[in-house]
């Protein structure tokens, strides 16, 4: 036997063992494949026999729907003004601070009135002197009148005395007017609030020498507040002065009376201003946002579904899953819809499916079109 034949005889058992290994691997693989196919078929069979339980809602078609429209406005003080002195002077007293509540007629600033009081004293002395001279002239005129009948006093001397008395009367009136003017200036040296409110700002401080008309403080009335709200011209025509409407401030609703609607339209916002009277018990800040809430009817056909029933489709479209009850168990069908409005947790939609259709209300992420389902509950 040659050496080549001996080597082939030695390798023959190894080739036989390798062939048996390959055959065993093929048999095992075939067995596993058959087992997996049987498992999948069994699972599909069980799935077909056990429909997925879902919550549904009934789509009711309607010709229109109502929605609440909010119009934004601002709280406006009934009165607010920059208070100033009518006369020049140096501010001696400014007791109030920013944010201080003041009553009507309260003194909130005082000028140095020493010079005015000195002038008043001097003018009052002039008035006393003029009155004394007037009294003397009247007495003299009366005596000369009595003596003139006897011829002891000439007519010329009597006329001088009489006219002198009249001139002194005019002087007394003039000095009295000067005294009254000084008293008015003394009154104007005190800055008095014309109405109750809150001091919003200070523009000057003690020791400042100011001219007439220079703002000292800003006063905002807090009792008679109003709401100025921009409303579209179409809706403004529906508002009636004297009626009450719902306003919302800081999330709280109140009923406010409509005072008036301005007859012009803002060229920027294209809206007119409705003025409402805010109830006295409401505590609001000047310039704070406030809204008017009105209901309106939108003439669009559609129906309401929960927001959870919507599923985003291709190209920005929205879809819902409608139940096809023509066979048992019911199966889901994908329907494209148009979302017309959203209010809180529901959406107003329109589509091509009929009135009274059952729509899957939630759990859209676990359901695909064609899935057999059973109704677990109706919302």
Q: Given pLDDT bands bounded at 50, 70 and 90, which one contains residue 33?
A: low
Average pLDDT score, the chain: 83
Same domain for 88 and 181: yes
Report the CATH number that the domain containing residue 263 is assigned in CATH. Answer: 2.40.30.170
Q: In this structure, what token pair is assigned to residue 109?
A: 């600033």
pTM over 0.75: no
Is the per-residue pLDDT at 48 higher than 70? no
For the chain, percent of residues with pLDDT exceeding 90: 44
- Whether the CB-CB separation of 184 and 66 falls below 8 Å is answered with no
Q: Given pLDDT bands bounded at 50, 70 and 90, which one contains residue 122?
A: very high
Is the per-residue pLDDT at 39 higher than 60? no
Same domain for 43 and 57: no
DSSP state of 279: P
Within a domain: residue 274? Answer: yes
C-alpha 239/C-alpha 69 separation (Å) is 14
Within a domain: residue 99? Answer: yes
pLDDT value at position 38?
Answer: 47
Which of 260, 275, 298 corresponds to the end of one domain? Answer: 298
pLDDT value at position 5?
Answer: 46
- Bridge-based pairing state of the strands 52-59 and 372-378: parallel
Chain-centroid distance of CA 107 in Å reads: 34
Q: How many CA atoms lie within 13 A of 319 on its CB side?
A: 17
Q: Which residue has the higher pLDDT, 177 or 45?
A: 177
Same domain for 56 and 40: no
Is the per-residue pLDDT at 176 higher than 50? yes
- Bridge-based pairing state of the strands 197-202 and 346-351: unpaired
Secondary structure of 138-195 in the HEC alphabet?
HHHHHHHHHHHCCCCCCHHHHHHHHHHHHHHHHHHHHHHHHHHHHHHHHHHCEEECCC
Report the CATH number that the domain containing residue 101 is assigned in CATH. Answer: 1.10.287
The residue range of the domain holding 10 is 1-50
Same domain for 235 and 307: no
Same domain for 170 and 89: yes
pLDDT value at position 203?
Answer: 92
**Looking at the 3D structure of the chain, how many domains does it have?**
4
pLDDT value at position 28?
Answer: 55
Which of 183, 198, 213 corresponds to the end of one domain? Answer: 198
Which one, of 114, 120, 113, 117, lies nearest residue 176 by Cα? 120
Same domain for 154 and 85: yes
Tokens 């000028």, residue located: 111
Q: Is 360 exposed, middle or buried (0-12, 13-18, 19+ CB in 10 A)?
A: buried
What SS3 class is residue 308?
helix
Same domain for 347 and 241: no
pLDDT value at position 245?
Answer: 94
Within a domain: residue 31? Answer: yes
Within a domain: residue 205? Answer: no
Within a domain: residue 246? Answer: yes
For the chain, percent of residues with pLDDT exceeding 70: 82
Residue 73 phi, psi dihedral angles, 5° rounding: -150, -170
Q: What is the pLDDT of residues 209-231, one digit of tens each?
A: 999 999 999 999 888 899 999 99
């Amino acid at each position: 036997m040659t050496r080549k034949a001996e080597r082939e005889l030695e390798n023959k058992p190894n080739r036989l063992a390798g062939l048996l290994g390959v055959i065993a691997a093929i048999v095992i693989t075939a067995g596993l494949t058959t087992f997996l196919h049987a498992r999948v078929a069994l699972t599909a069979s069980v799935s077909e026999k056990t429909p997925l339980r879902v919550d549904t809602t009934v789509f009711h078609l309607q010709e229109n729907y109502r929605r609440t429209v909010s119009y934004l406005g601002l709280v406006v003080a009934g009165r607010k003004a920059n208070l100033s002195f009518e006369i020049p002077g140096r501010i001696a007293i400014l007791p109030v601070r920013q944010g201080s509540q003041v009553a009507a007629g309260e003194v909130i600033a005082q000028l140095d009135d020493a010079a005015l009081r000195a002038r008043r004293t001097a003018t009052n002395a002039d008035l006393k002197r003029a009155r004394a001279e007037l009294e003397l002239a009247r007495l003299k005129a009366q005596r000369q009148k009595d003596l003139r009948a006897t011829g002891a006093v000439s007519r010329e001397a009597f006329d001088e005395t009489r006219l002198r008395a009249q001139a002194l009367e005019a002087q007394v009136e003039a000095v009295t007017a000067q005294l009254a003017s000084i008293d008015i200036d003394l009154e104007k040296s005190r800055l008095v609030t014309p109405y109750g409110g809150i001091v919003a700002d200070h523009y000057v401080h003690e020791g400042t020498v100011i001219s007439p008309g220079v703002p000292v403080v800003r006063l905002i009335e807090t009792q008679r507040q109003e709401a100025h709200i921009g409303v579209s011209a179409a809706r403004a025509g529906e508002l009636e002065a004297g009626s009450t409407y719902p306003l919302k401030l800081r999330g709280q609703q109140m009923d406010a009376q409509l005072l008036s609607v301005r007859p012009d339209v803002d060229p920027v916002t294209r809206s007119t201003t409705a003025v409402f009277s805010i109830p006295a018990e409401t505590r609001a800040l000047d310039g704070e946002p406030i809204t008017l809430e009105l209901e309106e009817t939108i003439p669009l056909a559609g129906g309401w579904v929960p927001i959870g029933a919507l599923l985003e489709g291709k190209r920005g479209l929205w879809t819902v899953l409608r139940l096809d009850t023509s066979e048992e168990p019911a199966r889901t069908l994908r329907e494209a819809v148009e979302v017309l409005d959203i209010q809180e947790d529901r959406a107003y939609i329109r589509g091509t499916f009929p009135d009274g259709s059952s729509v899957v209300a939630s759990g859209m992420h676990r359901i695909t079109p064609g899935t057999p389902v059973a109704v677990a509950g109706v919302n």
